[in-house]
Amino acid sequence: MDKKKIGFYYGIILIAVGSGIFYRIPQVMLQVETIEFFRQTLFLVRSSFYFLGGLLILAGGIRIYKNYK
């Protein structure tokens, strides 16, 4: 398997993981709300999860785009 195919599949995996984070955030936030330490910073925690998911999707898209360029 050459480097180009590996990079393409890695990009697909990054997009899938980023999408999975967006899917799981509502369920995970219910569990995070029960932790006393994070109760005051729920907005920061939620926005960090969304930012992480967005970065993963962006990185996967860039990797796929570079393989077809």
- Hey, how many other C-beta atoms are within 10 angstroms of the C-beta on 54? 13
Q: Global pTM?
A: 0.86
Residue pLDDT, tens place only, 27-52: 999 999 998 988 899 999 999 999 99
Using CB atoms within 10 Å of the CB of residue 29, give its burial: 0 to 12 exposed, 13 to 18 middle, 19+ buried.
Answer: middle
* H-only helix segments in the chain: 3-33, 42-68
Is pLDDT of 1 > 80?
Answer: no
Query: In the prediction, which pLDDT does 3 show?
Result: 77
Is pLDDT of 69 > 80?
Answer: no
